[in-house]
Amino acid sequence: MTDRICVGAIAGSFGVRGEVRLKSFCAEPSAIADYGPLFTEDGARSFKVKLTRPVAGGLGARITGVETKEEADALKGVNLYVDKDKLPKLPDDEYYHADLIGLEVRDTGGAVLGRVSAVHNHGAGDILEIAGAGLQAPVLLPFTLALVPTVDLASGRVIVDLPEGLE
């Protein structure tokens, strides 16, 4: 699964002719249709996507193999993945969430705190969720240069400068 990245989800049907409502997780929402076939999480199904129009809460789309409202409704909640090598290369200071999850987390003194267990974004920027034996409870830390000065994907770790009281 590490070779695929979640780029969107099917949010249900749109209309009565088998269109689906897509929720895109791409920086440019319409880019979801540019990456070739999209796969279900288990890779058992793939879909070619043709965007039809913007709709409330996402994008209207036709996907291969879906012809009826009932077929579209049955796919509600299915996450859509693309092969990672189809995505654009990022600048040095940007990362895909999937690349951050699982990285070892150390403080600025070198002590292991745990691992990045999730990356959240509720609209105001990315937040790392860090869990591990070096912490009393999971910590939510804004993913900023001041608090996360080092991300080293090659060595599989991040260095964090935890504010006082979060240790």
Mention every residue, 6+ apart, whose C-beta is less than 8 A from residue 13. 19, 20, 21, 69, 72, 73, 76
Question: What's the whole-model pTM score?
Answer: 0.75
Residue 148: count of CB within 10 angstroms of its CB = 20
pLDDT of residue 73: 95
Same domain, 76 and 106: no
Asked if 77 and 101 sit in the same domain, the reply is no
Q: Which domain holds residue 39?
A: 4-86
**pLDDT tens sequence for the chain (167 residues):** 458 899 999 999 998 889 999 999 888 999 999 998 999 999 999 999 999 999 988 999 999 999 999 999 999 999 999 998 888 888 888 898 889 999 999 999 999 999 999 999 887 889 999 999 878 889 999 999 999 999 999 999 999 998 887 66
Answer with the one of 86, 111, 143 that is the final residue of a domain: 86
Domain presence at residue 165: no
**What would the 3-class secondary structure string for 94-119 be?**
CCCHHHHCCCEEEECCCCEEEEEEEE
Could you read off the pLDDT of 73-93 as tens digits, one per residue? 999 999 999 998 888 888 888
For residue 64, tell me if it sits in a domain: yes
Residues 106 and 79 in one domain: no
In a domain? residue 149: yes
Residue 114 belongs to domain with CATH number: 2.30.30.240
Q: How far apart are CA 84 and CA 142, in angstroms?
A: 25
Domains in the chain, number: 2
Which residue, 58, 86, 114, sits at the end of a domain?
86
Identify whether residues 21 and 82 lie together within a single domain.
yes
Domain membership of residue 143 (yes or no) is yes
Question: What is the structure's pLDDT at 1?
Answer: 43
